Chain A
Amino acid sequence: MMPALVAPAALLALASLPVAAINWHSFLFLLFAAIACGFAVAVVAATNVVRMALYLVLSLAATAGLFLLAGAEFVGAMQLMIYVGGTLVLLVFGVMLTAQAPFVAIASSNGDRVLAGVVGLALLAVLLLAGLSVPAWRAPASGSLAEPAATPLGMAFVGVRVDEPVAGEPRAAVRPGYLLPFEIVSVHLLVVLVGAAYLARAKRRKTQRAIDIVASVEPPASVAEHAAIGRGPAGAGSVLAGGSVLTGGSR
């Protein structure tokens, strides 16, 4: 409801401004920031896990737009490809694999929600105070976008720095790149993916407890109906027996 109210009013305010006065970089920043923050809050507010996944995709995609606006093209592209294209697809697969009816929307208690809201607002207040308290960070952008950052970043990952040192940094003959962290991260990724494949491999055996939980938590609706209908003197036993056979077969 809030976005529906804000959007027309924002358009009105835009129309009242002279077009030349609008800073389009700031306009796009506000657009992407609103999408990113709005859907991040929507992830918290939603109870349905499928909708949470959708909101998260939108929030992270808008964050990629923020990265591009800040001049980090390579990071923005990686955000779209690895995060939105890889990690979130993985997460959506997880949602689909575990989306049995009782688990799609597990609501937490109201007390927990209120407590989390209070703690979250306090944390937000601290972070905002800290972020806005430094005058240098509040100075409007005055730098210029230099050459694209993808080439210097790629060269730095293989250990060669071709970018200019930032102001204030002593100019050294040899500047360290990121070759060692790059190798550590790549080996880490390999180990982690082998471990994940090992953990998630298909197993036939289920523990007795899981079978008991399934049997006790969610009796199939049809069985319960048949049991209720067939409470009469004749047929009740056979229907119940049929139901139990069906339950055993389907699990």
Chain B
Amino acid sequence: MIGPCVAGSPLFGLLITEPVSVAHYLVVGAIMFTAGVACMATKRNALGVLMGIELVLNGANVNFVAFASPYLAGDGARSLGLDGQAIAVFVIVLAAAEAAVALAITLNFYNNHATVDVDRADDLKG
């Protein structure tokens, strides 16, 4: 029942006839960031935690690209210019490096402990 209400509301008509703004991108980035944080907090599979990290980085990237966009800059708003896009590329490359190392650690943990459950990684518990 929620679906028709959302799609038939005047808000949807406004969204689809008006040009997008930076705030539209900020909403998308906020949802992806929150989903990533919740994913990192709730998943017990180490690979699920990794996926949450990817979502968080991507949500931040959406914001950087939105602030850097020459098209989205409204009246009176300062654009980040090329800096935002450069930061976004750096984030993507560093996320690849982070995923490689985290995956290597996960595989090592799996080899040594025969599990990927992060709750079982308690060898250092005092």
Report which A residues bind B (CB closer than 8 A): 2, 4-6, 9-10, 12-14, 17, 21-23, 25-27, 29-30, 33, 36-37, 40-41, 43-44, 49, 52-53, 56, 59-60, 63, 66-67, 70-72, 74-75, 78-79, 82-83, 86-88, 90-91, 93-95, 97-98, 102-103, 106-108, 112-113, 116-117, 119-121, 123-124, 127-128, 131-132, 134, 136-146, 149, 152-153, 156-157, 161, 163, 165-169, 178, 181, 185, 188-189, 192-193, 195-197, 199-200, 203, 206-207, 209-210, 213-214, 217
Contacts and interface: CB of A to CB of B under 8 A. Distances in A.
Given A9-B6, A137-B21, A178-B86, A87 B34 contact: no
B44 A106 contact: yes
A14 B82 CA distance: 36
A163 B47 CA distance: 40
Contacts of A21: 17
A251 to B, nearest CB: 9
A127 B66 CA distance: 15
Q: What bracket does the count of chain B residues touching chain A fall in? A: 35 or more
A26 B107 contact: no
Tell me the interface secondary structure of chain B in the complex: helix
A117 B79 CA distance: 34
B41 A119 contact: yes
B34 to A, nearest CB: 4
